[in-house]
Each structure stands twice: as C-alpha cells, then as structure tokens.
Structure 1
Amino acid sequence: MKIPMLDLSEQYKTLREDILGVLDEVMTSSQFILGSNVKKLESSIAEYCNVKHGVGVANGSDALHISLMACGVKEGDEVITTPFTFFATAGAIARCNATPVFVDIDPVTFNIDANQIEDKITAKTKAIIPVHLYGQMADMTKINEIAKAHNLYVIEDAAQAIGATHRGHHVGELGDTATLSFFPTKNLGAYGDAGMVVTNNDDLMEKMRVIRVHGSKPKYHHHVLGYNSRIDEMQAAILNVKFPHLDEWGKKRRKIASRYTEMLTGKVAGQLITPVESKDSYHVFHQYTIRVEKRDELQNHLKENGISTMIYYPVPLHLQPVFSDLGYKEGDFPQTEKAVKEAISLPMFPELKEEQQQYVVDSIVKFFQ
C-alpha cells in the first residue's frame, strides 16, 4: 500500500465543478487584482477569526514581514520567537533588519515556552512572535500578560493554525495581528501561494493595506516604502469555494488524530510519544507529529513500506548558517535540539481512510517488534 503524506486530489474531486465555475467567472470578469473575490475572502476570514479586518497578501511569509513593518519594527530592534519553526518566521524579522531572539520550546506542545520569554526581553525588544505549531496555539494568556507589561506587539504566526482556539479565542483575537498561510498543503489551502493578515487594529490594517501596494496612497503617491504583495483574485476565488468546508475538514482531522493516538497508545505504548492537546486548546492538527528516539530509522522503515512522512524541522533556526552571526551554538536550546532529532509527522489529511491509518500503525508496530 502507498500512503502519501498529503493527497489533495480527493478533495479536488469533490469541489471540481464549483472551482472551475468560479475560475471561469474570474476570467470572464477580467478583474484579476484585488477584486470582489479578495474582498469577500478578507471579510469571511476576519469574521471567522472574530476580528474586524483581513488584509490579503501574496503568501504567509509576506504576511509576517508586512505585520512587522506595520508595527514599526526596524534596524536595531529585537523580536522574540521560537527556533523550532519554518524559516519564514525569523526570516521576516531579519528582512526588517531587526534581530531574532530565540526562546526554547515547551517539549509537550512544541510551541514557544512562555515561561522563558521574559528573561529575553531587553530595551531593544519590540515584539513577540509566537508560532502556533502543527495546529495548536501557544500559551497566549501568558504571552499577552508579558507583552502588556513590557508594551510589546504580539504577532501570531498562525500559518498552520487557522481554526484553532485558545480558551475559546480564535487566532487573531489575542494578538495585535495574526498571519495566515494558504499554501496548498495548509488546512485551508489555495492552488498556489496566498496569505492574509487579520487584525482588530484599524491603524495597523490601514498601514498594511498601503504597504502591500508599493506603499502608495493614493495610487502613484508613495509616502512609505512598501512592496508588491497582493493575494491573487483567482486564488481568492478558489479559497472562497473551500472556506465553507474548513470546520468540517478540521473535525475530520481531529478524528483521524484521535484514532492515531488510540491505536498507537494501545500497540506501542512507551515506544513513542503522541501529540498532546493542551486543556485550553482546540487543536486543528495541521500535522500529526510524534516523537521517537530512533526517528530516522523509523522514517526509513516507513518509506520502505510505501508510507510518506515529513520531518518538521530537521535544523533549528539558531543553528542555520544564515543566522550564524547571531552567535548561537549547539546546546543553547536543549528542548528544541532534542525535538529536531525526534519529531516526525505522519500522513494527515481529511480524506485519509481508516484502512490507510491502520496500515501506517501496523508498520510502526512492526518497526518496534
């Protein structure tokens, strides 16, 4: 049996006629940039996140950069974040000529350890970027307490966590901004690059809308240095078709995750660590990530049995060559460095069949036997 990490083809089959229909409408209208589909998507996502504004941009990486720019992050500033995340989080900080300051992770959730943040705050600190990794929100209660005490911006990196909640609050409600990615593999994915920033802050919204169109307002009048980062009208049309299914897909992901945990706990208890949903969280399981000491050996075994897996992420950001000038060394963040050697994500998508899951689990059991 061949089990892919992600299979988008089954989802497309169920939506094909609707998607082709809206694409034809866009082509017929010849309105390709910041048209009615973008406005509809911005409104829908903002309402879903219980905030006032959505600002569609070209991708999730730009969403982070534009958020930082709107918050006034510049050269000489420091921004606190996690070293256990995709490169874009720290890359956006560096592109503002600011300095990423890393904090180790909570080994249970993989998210930034909020209890270690305050020790890293200096007079140069301007913002905190918690990453809601794998679909579970960080401890936003503690993070916001710290941010308020030190007058810092909070930018939620929610690229993997649309639909997740913390104490009943959606991504976006608890930060000054929250950034979303609609990369095709995400829980709500386009058929190309796309992203969004959501916010309750009118001033930040206005700044971000100006930044995404070369910093011009009105057109051809430039008062700030922005750049070209707009969500594509065709991608917005596709996302408008897919968006009403998001919660249903999220429930299916949670059911698949629950089944994985039940089967693995019953058959290989003590051999690996399954994901934990915090008591304050609603986890949307963008990834189902386990921890195994012999991770690489397990991955090779599963590959030999036709099962695709992914390692998110094999090299922590503080040890990436591009950030060598920051002066970090191996051993600085022990929980992160342990996680990069143990974490492995199993196949996860709403259309994953029970017999496919059973095959994955049986293959894992055989590895330990």
Structure 2
Amino acid sequence: MVDLRAQFATIEKEVRQAIDEVLTTQIFILGPQLEAFEREMAQYCGRRLAIGVASGTDALTLALRACGVGSGDEVILPAFTFLATAGAVIAAGARPVFADSDPKTLNIDPESVRVLVTQRTKAVIAVHLYGGAAEMNALLELASRRGLVLIEDNAQSLGASLSGKKLGSFGTCAATSFYPSKNLGAYGDAGMILTDNDEVAERVARLRNHGQTGRYIGAEPGCNSRLDEIQAVVLRVKARYLDRWIAARRSHAARYKQRFTNVNAIRTPSDEPNSVHSYYLYTVQIASERGLGDNPAVRRDHVARHLASRGIASSIFYPLPLHLQPAYASLGGKAGQLPVAERAAHEVLSLPLYPEMTTEQVDRVADSVIEVL
C-alpha cells in the first residue's frame, strides 16, 4: 500500500542529521523541536495554536475532554470510520451516536446528523475520510444553530483543503494523526490538536502532561501523551516535503481515475468542487453484484484476492461499520440501520498509492483490477 523505505531513501541524510541534533542536546520531552513543530503546523493549517500529543487517538480524546465533553453527553460521529473515533468518545466518558454517510463522498451525512441531535448531544465529530473533505458548511451551520461543539477528525486528510482553507481549520478544534503511513508520518505514534481557542489549547497542554499546571502540581487528572523531540524533529523534516508528496499522490490518483473511467463496476473517489483531496488512500467502490450468494462483498473480495495473486497489496478501510462492531453492540445498532455505511463496507477497496510510485506501477495495478472485472 505504501513504501516507507522509498520515502526514507529520499530524505535519509536530513533525517539522520536532525535526529543527531536531538541526541546532542539530550532534550527529549517538551523541548524546542516540539515547540517549533507546533508553530509550523499551526501556520500550515491556518490555526493559531497547535499542541502535539502522543497519537491521533489521544488527540481526539483530549480534544473532546478539553471541549467539555464528558459523562452523560452524546457525541455524533460517522459509523463508517476507524475504531479510534468512537473509542475516543468512550474514553472521554461520553456515548457515541452513529450517523450514516454521504453516498458520494462516504463522509458523514449532515442530514443524518440533524435527525440524531437530542438534548444530550454535546458534540459532532466530522471525519475527513481518505483525504477528502466532509461537508463542513452544512455541519458548521447545524452546530452553530444547535449550540454544538464541532471537532474535525483530520487524521487522514492533513494538507487537504476546502474553499481555500485547510481541513482542520473549520471546527472548534481538530485532531490529526502522524501514524507512519500517513501523508505526514512519524517514525512511531504521534498526533496533534489544532485550535484557535486559547482555553481549549491550555487545557489540552495541561491534560497531555498529567494535568499539571506547574511542576508536580496537578489541577485535574491527566495522562502521559507528549509528542517527543525525536518524533517532532523527524516530522519537521518531512513536513518540508508534504505538499510535494500530496501533489504526487494527486497525480497518481488522476491516472487511476483515467484508467477506470469506462469501467462501470468501479466508482472512483469524489474530488468535490472547491476542494483539494490529499489522497491518503485511493479507495474505490467495487459495485455489489446480486445473485452471488449471501455475501454482498463477494465481488470486492474477489478483486482483492486477484490482486494478491499478482503480488499487489490492497486493503479494506473499513469492513464493518461501527454500529455493527461487537465493541458497541450494547448501543443497539442493527443491520439496515445505516444503509450507506453498510454498503460502503461491502464495496470499498483501497489500492496502492504513495508519492514514489511510477506511472508504470499505477498502470499495473489498474490493469490487474480491470482484467478481473
């Protein structure tokens, strides 16, 4: 799916030199590299403030807590997303409520959100899936009208934009992930919260460091969730290349789209008007085919097996929507409840996409998909 070795080969000298600088200073936690990276990412994303944390999951959890979400609250989020989004809601003490997806973008459907809002609803999490923008204007209007906190889960879409603004700059705050495979990935786990709200930023900074307001003075229970200096310096090096890497991803995505134009069984990702997709994942939908047994994913799975037989990786993000996950069975989700999310889980297939791919490699993947359909 990605080739991190190929990426490392292009930046190895810079990365090793940067890490050596940290080793020379022997400052590893909450040091100058993190402070510089926070400033640089805030500027890049069009935010005033950025707070580095240990992972994207922690970023979501601490963002929720810093925005006042807790026991007795409900948080609406898409059912079609990674487990961490709902896990963060649980970790913050709230109850996740699952919304359906927009059939075109597979991002959270604002109309589905609207009908789920109750007196207990405290926040909405808008996940920007695969590198594409959720419908932020409608969500912002709804959040403003109903007095809700709007948090962006930007773990997959750093560098993407909508109406000239970077994703992650719309909501009360945004959480992002620097998991190694991401468009901007650390050499381990790392995450960040971005906001314009001083109180939110101050509370996140406190929570990530055991709730301390001063050395060994705890204002509230917190946790150990600090983005360390080595990860920060690696990310600073890699951030210099982020826009270049995204441009390469977009070029490869355009090639895939061209190759699949006349293949009726394939729906390619939607590059919405006024948006710039960052293509963390190139995820197509393989149309379900009736009459092939009880498994509506059989056609998609057949394509995946065929690719594997050719030595080509693919992956399914995600095979089961959250409302049907065993972890959340107690919330009462049922099959058929969220039809768009459920259909997407049967149809999505992510194909190899990374900046260092060649056109020949993209064509080989496309040829292998087309020949089995």
Map of 1:279 onto structure 2: 273
- Give distance in 1, aligned partners of 2:234 and 2:91: 30
Map of 2:357 onto structure 1: 352
Q: 1:329 aligns with which of 318, 323, 334?
A: 334
Q: 1:309 aligns with which of 290, 311, 314?
A: 314
1:185 aligns with 2:181: yes
Map of 1:343 onto structure 2: 348
- Give distance in 1, aligned partners of 2:92 and 2:190: 21
Paired residue secondary structure (1:133):
coil
Query: How far is 1:213 from its partner?
Result: 0.3
Query: How far is 1:264 from its partner?
Result: 1.4
The CA deviation string for residues 226-265 of structure 1, in whole angstroms up to 9 with x for no partner, is 1110001101010010001100101110000000000111
Map of 2:282 onto structure 1: 288
Paired residue secondary structure (1:73):
coil
Paired residue secondary structure (2:122):
strand
Paired residue secondary structure (1:263):
helix
Amino acid at match of 1:17: K
Query: How far is 1:97 from its partner?
Result: 1.9
- Give distance in 2, aligned partners of 1:142 and 1:62: 27
Paired residue secondary structure (2:82):
coil
Paired residue secondary structure (1:130):
strand
Map of 1:134 onto structure 2: 130
Query: How far is 1:276 from its partner?
Result: 1.1
Superposed counterparts of 1:187-266, under 5 Å = 187-266=183-262
Map of 2:46 onto structure 1: 50
Q: Percent identity?
A: 44
The CA deviation string for residues 189-215 of structure 1, in whole angstroms up to 9 with x for no partner, is 011000000000111000100000000
The normalised TM-score by structure 1 is 0.97
- Give distance in 2, aligned partners of 1:330 and 1:63: 30
Unpaired runs of at least 5, structure 2: 289-298
Paired residue secondary structure (2:214):
coil
- Give distance in 1, aligned partners of 2:318 and 2:362: 23
- Give distance in 2, aligned partners of 1:239 and 1:263: 34
- Give distance in 1, aligned partners of 2:9 and 2:284: 30
Query: How far is 1:362 from its partner?
Result: 1.1
- Give distance in 2, aligned partners of 1:146 and 1:265: 36
The runs of at least 4 consecutive aligned structure 1 residues that moved more than 3 Å come to none
- Give distance in 2, aligned partners of 1:104 and 1:303: 31
Query: How far is 1:108 from its partner?
Result: 1.0
Query: Bigger shift: 356-365 or 176-185?
Result: 356-365
Paired residue secondary structure (2:9):
helix
- Give distance in 1, aligned partners of 2:93 and 2:336: 26
Amino acid at match of 1:357: V
Map of 2:264 onto structure 1: 270
Paired residue secondary structure (2:126):
coil
Map of 2:24 onto structure 1: 28
Map of 2:295 onto structure 1: none
Unpaired runs of at least 5, structure 1: none
The CA deviation string for residues 63-105 of structure 1, in whole angstroms up to 9 with x for no partner, is 0000000011111100000011110100000112211011100
Cα-Cα RMSD: 0.8
Map of 1:66 onto structure 2: 62
- Give distance in 1, aligned partners of 2:342 and 2:112: 16
- 2:79–2:323 Cα contact (<8 Å) kept: yes
Query: How far is 1:280 from its partner?
Result: 2.7
- 2:158–2:168 Cα contact (<8 Å) kept: no
- Give distance in 2, aligned partners of 1:156 and 1:228: 23
Paired residue secondary structure (2:152):
strand
- Give distance in 1, aligned partners of 2:274 and 2:106: 15
Amino acid at match of 1:290: V
- Give distance in 1, aligned partners of 2:222 and 2:53: 12
- Give distance in 2, aligned partners of 1:338 and 1:26: 48
Aligned residue pairs total 362
The normalised TM-score by structure 2 is 0.96
- 2:321–2:341 Cα contact (<8 Å) kept: yes
- Give distance in 1, aligned partners of 2:220 and 2:166: 31
1:12 aligns with 2:8: yes
The CA deviation string for residues 16-46 of structure 1, in whole angstroms up to 9 with x for no partner, is 0110111111111100001111011100000
- Give distance in 1, aligned partners of 2:317 and 2:265: 20
- Give distance in 2, aligned partners of 1:291 and 1:136: 15
- Give distance in 1, aligned partners of 2:327 and 2:112: 24
Q: 1:110 aligns with which of 90, 106, 110?
A: 106
- 1:194–1:231 Cα contact (<8 Å) kept: yes
